[in-house]
Structure formats: structure tokens, C-alpha cells
Amino acid sequence: MIAARRRRIAAGFCVALAIVAGCFVVRMAWPEAWRGGWSGYASQSSYAPNDTAVFHLAARRPWGTNTGLLRLEDAAGRTVRELPGVAVLPAPTVEQPWEDARFPASVRLPLAGLRPGVYRLNGRIPLVVRAAPGASRTLLVVPTHTVAAYSQAGGKSLYVASASWRLQRLLAAPTMAHLRAWVSADDGDRARTVGTHRPSEREHGAFFDAGLAWIARTPSPSPWDSLGYLADDDLDTPGEMDGVRTLVIVGHSEYWTRAARRNVEAFVASGGRLLVLSGNTAWWQMRRARAPSGNVRLTVVRDWEEDAARHPDVPDSLRTVVWTDARLGLPISATFPASFAHGGFGTNDARFRMRQPSHPLLDGVALGADSSLHLVSRELDGVPDTASATDRVLALLPARHFGQPAFGAFVVRSSVGGRGAVVHLGSTDVFGAHGVGGPDSTAWRRIVLNALAWLRTPTETER
């Protein structure tokens, strides 16, 4: 009897294990169907204030669904517009959906009357509403290129393909070759081009959502009044910065086009101020091409020779390699005083140690006994041992650069010869949930506001 009971227990355990394994396979192979509901994207990353936003929606399950009430929410999660629900069909079957998912246009939403800012449809589909030209002296740039680069929607990103996509291929054609490809997941399995016409993933917003919510919840009058917003795409247009005093880069602003680099460099050279609240900043050059549908294809090959072989007609100055490659002729230091080349990956217990606690940027900031401030940081920009004479390092945070010790940096580049000043707080997390939204949020918010005030103060030559 005891043996029979043990066999029943063992059989039950095997059945339960088989069910769990089956659920895992379904979850990995068909994640969209598993989650249910619907997903989508906006036709553009950003819109002018009186535009009409177009949302492309598709059901995650093969029988379609209804969205229910649609809500446009601001960065603080408050509903600012409501629309009746719509019926949506399953996503169409297309080749290379990571380049263009081709969801049908399902909802049109007039934006007239909305303040500049970042909004989400039902908390999941982001869009940026820009300010009217000349209306804002300070612009904040949302790192939409980085969000698109990391998104696995459609099965691939600019990184190694997702496990679910590899498993789908394995199940569709279960051969040993597919099994080896699924297990190895080498660099050749990632996309070289991704599109903006596909769903994004909310997880990457952890680097800036908390900062956007802080701004949205701050009552007027405040230093954020009249703040304007841009998406990464907008930096390619020089006129977007006309009349602007301060440009704010936030989050994980990793992917930059050459046009954006040149435009921001010209902005600072002409006296503009730059506040960088980002790590791993401007690490890769990216090429972008807009299709008639509005989809923007973003290309990053990551290897000079492979890029030249795939795209022989592209000038060498546009090769999609790291900006530290001297062949590009535009070093990161031309625009930013700190770089990931001299920084690295942070740790959970690291602290920024302030070297100049009496600096105006640290006014009113409660520091620890050792003049330090805690900040969990995923990636950090640092400075070389021989910093420029115009660069003042206010703080350093221990990091690791591919196994070697390194430091993230808090750097101030002074205004010299008519050039604008730059404040670079080189952490992916300072504007996110660990910085202005974290346990030491009071201190980090004060530092950000101090930096804004310091950058907005006219120099002696301007007086």
C-alpha cells in the first residue's frame, strides 16, 4: 500500500511537472497570446501640439478582442482624455515584424489642448507631445531610440534575439540546426535594423519614468514650468532647438545619429546649456530612415567591416560603430565631458563621493558623513585620468568596466569662449526609480534643480 501511494504521488508530481513545462513552452513560444489583451504603437514618436495622434492596435490572441475604455494618461498616471473602446483584429502575419509590425490604424486622438509632455495610451503606448516652436526655453529629450533598440517586439531587437522567438522557430522546424541556434543565441541572431512601428516595452522606462512623474506632479510655479519635450528623432532637426536655453538628456540615451550629435554640439558651441542625466550616453552611432508610412527604421550593425559589406553605398562617416572609433572623426568628448569608455557598470551599494561638497550644485543637499550619496546605477559615464581644464569633477562612483575597476563621474564643463556649459551626471539611474524616484530622492531632486538653476544663470560675458 505504501509503495502504491508513492507511485501515485510520483505520478501526480510528473503530471504537475508536465503541466508547468507545457505552460512554460506556451508562454515562451507565444508570449502575446499568453498575456492576452492587445498591444500597439503610435504612428510617430512625437507630435506637434495640435496634431492628431494615430494609434495602431492589434489583439494578442488569434480571435481578436475589444480594448474596452481607452484612456490617455500623463506621466503621473492621471487620465487626461477618454475614448470608447474599439474592436481590434489579430496582428497581421508579416516578414521581419521587428522592422514593421504593420498593425492597422485603429484610433485617432486629437491632441489640441494638451500640455507638452509624455503620455501613454492605457499605460502602455507612449507618445511625446512637443511644445509650440519658441514656447519653451528648456527641452527634455526622451530616449526613444534606446527604447526601440532594446524592445523585443516582433521577436528581435538590436541585441540577441529573445528566447521566445528562438523557441518559436525551433517548434516550427524542429531540427538539430534550430536547436543549436536556439541554445547558442550568438551575435548573428540579433537584428541589424528595427522599426518604430511595433510595440515598445515599458521596462526600459525605469530609467526615466520616475523623473517624468516627478515633473508632472510638481505644482506650479516650479522650475519645470514651460518645459518642452522632444523624442530622439527630433534632434535630427536643427530648428527644434531654436530659442532654447537648456537641453536636458535623460535616462539611457545610448543611440545617436550623426545629425543629432552635430546639432547638439552646435547648440552648445553657440552658448546653449546641456544637462545630461544619463549613463552610457551616445555610445553607438545609429542610422535612421523614415518610410512613407511614418515607420522609422533604425540601423546599428556594430561592426565596421560588416556594415561596409551590407551597405557599401553608405559613407564611412555613418558606419554604425561606437563613437569612440577614431575613424568616425567625432569623439564623444566633443559633446559630452564623460563617456562610458571611461565608466562602466555600477553596483547596488555604490555611493557617489563628492570631491567638492561646497559647489553650488550641492547647495541644500544632505550628504553622508563621508560626503557621499547612494545611487544604484546600471551603467555609468566616467572621465579619463587627464580631464580637460574646463571640466571639474564633482564626484566619482566606483564601477566595473568589463572586469576592470572604473568610476562613474559627476562633471561640470564650464562656459568658455562663448560656448555653453555642460553638467553631466553620468548614471542611467539618476532620473529614474533609484535617483529622483528612490530612497534618496530629496537629495537627487535638489541636485537636478540646482543644476538647472546654475545652467540658466547668465555668464559674465552674457551679462
On whether the CB atoms of residues 123 and 37 are closer than 8 A, the answer is: no
Nearest to 415 by CA among 376, 373, 461: 461
Q: Is residue 128 part of a domain?
A: no
Q: Is residue 247 part of a domain?
A: yes
HSE, side-chain direction, 13 A CA sphere, residue 334: 18
Say yes or no to pLDDT of 8 above 80.
no
**Who's near 104: CB < 8 A, 6+ residues apart?**
56, 57, 58, 89, 92
Q: Is residue 132 part of a domain?
A: no
Candidate from 172-176, 215-219, 266-270, 440-444 with smallest mean pLDDT: 172-176
On whether the CB atoms of residues 380 and 399 are closer than 8 A, the answer is: yes
From CA 409, how far away is CA 279, in angstroms rounded? 10
By residue range, what is the domain housing residue 12? Answer: 2-32
Domain count, the chain: 2
For the residues 14-31, what does the mean pLDDT come to?
55
From CA 386, how far away is CA 380, in angstroms rounded? 18
Q: Is residue 285 part of a domain?
A: yes
462 band by pLDDT with thresholds 50, 70 and 90: very low
56-85 pLDDT tens trace:
999 988 888 999 999 999 999 999 999 999
Q: State residue 384's pLDDT score.
A: 81
Q: Is residue 342 part of a domain?
A: yes
406 band by pLDDT with thresholds 50, 70 and 90: confident
Place of cell 516595452: 201
Candidate from 199-203, 266-270, 419-423, 454-458 with smallest mean pLDDT: 199-203
353-388 pLDDT tens trace:
998 888 999 999 988 878 889 899 999 999 986 555
Q: 416 versus 377: which is more confidently predicted? A: 377
Beta bridge partners of 39: 58
Give the type of residue at 257: T
Q: Is residue 168 part of a domain?
A: no
Candidate from 9-13, 294-298, 404-408 with smallest mean pLDDT: 9-13
C-alpha cell at 259: 545629425
The answer to whether the pTM exceeds 0.85 is yes
Cα 390 vs. chain centroid, distance in angstroms? 29
Say yes or no to pLDDT of 443 above 90.
yes
CB atoms under 10 Å from CB of 276, counted, come to 28
Same domain as 145, residue 25: no
Candidate from 154-168, 379-393, 413-427 with smallest mean pLDDT: 154-168
CB atoms under 10 Å from CB of 221, counted, come to 7
Say yes or no to pLDDT of 461 above 70.
no
80-139 pLDDT tens trace:
999 999 999 998 989 889 999 999 999 999 999 999 999 999 998 999 999 998 899 999
Q: Is residue 40 part of a domain?
A: no
Same domain as 142, residue 19: no
Q: State residue 174's pLDDT score.
A: 40
166 band by pLDDT with thresholds 50, 70 and 90: low
Q: Is residue 54 part of a domain?
A: no
Which element (helix H / strand E) includes 109?
Answer: strand 105-110
On whether the CB atoms of residues 296 and 233 are closer than 8 A, the answer is: yes
HSE, side-chain direction, 13 A CA sphere, residue 249: 31
Give the type of residue at 214: W
On whether the CB atoms of residues 276 and 424 are closer than 8 A, the answer is: yes
For the residues 199-222, what does the mean pLDDT come to?
87
- Whether omega for the bond prior to residue 315 falls within 30 degrees of 0, making it cis, is no
C-alpha cell at 280: 552610457
CATH number for 363 = 3.40.50.880
Place of cell 563621474: 409
Nearest to 377 by CA among 395, 364, 358: 395
CB atoms under 10 Å from CB of 84, counted, come to 9
Q: 22 versus 104: which is more confidently predicted? A: 104
Q: State residue 29's pLDDT score.
A: 44
The share of the chain scoring above pLDDT 70, in percent, equals 82
Same domain as 12, residue 144: no
DSSP 13-26: HHHHHHHHHHHHHH
Say yes or no to pLDDT of 392 above 70.
yes
The share of the chain scoring above pLDDT 90, in percent, equals 63
Q: State residue 317's pLDDT score.
A: 97
Calculate the average pLDDT of the chain.
Answer: 86
H-type alpha helices, 278-392: 304-310
On whether the CB atoms of residues 268 and 335 are closer than 8 A, the answer is: yes
From CA 207, how far away is CA 375, in angstroms rounded? 13
Same domain as 430, residue 315: yes
217-244 pLDDT tens trace:
999 899 999 999 999 999 999 889 999 9
Say yes or no to pLDDT of 389 above 60.
no
Nearest to 106 by CA among 39, 50, 34, 35: 39
H-type alpha helices, 51-143: none
On whether the CB atoms of residues 66 and 74 are closer than 8 A, the answer is: no
281-334 pLDDT tens trace:
999 999 999 988 889 999 999 999 999 999 999 999 999 999 999 999 999 988
Burial class from Cβ neighbours inside 10 Å (0-12, 13-18, 19+) for residue 280 reads: buried
Q: Is 263 helix (H, G, I), strand (E, B) or coil?
A: helix
The angle subtended at Cα 90 by Cα 85 and Cα 96, nearest 5°, is 130
On whether the CB atoms of residues 401 and 433 are closer than 8 A, the answer is: no
Nearest to 394 by CA among 374, 382, 411, 407: 411
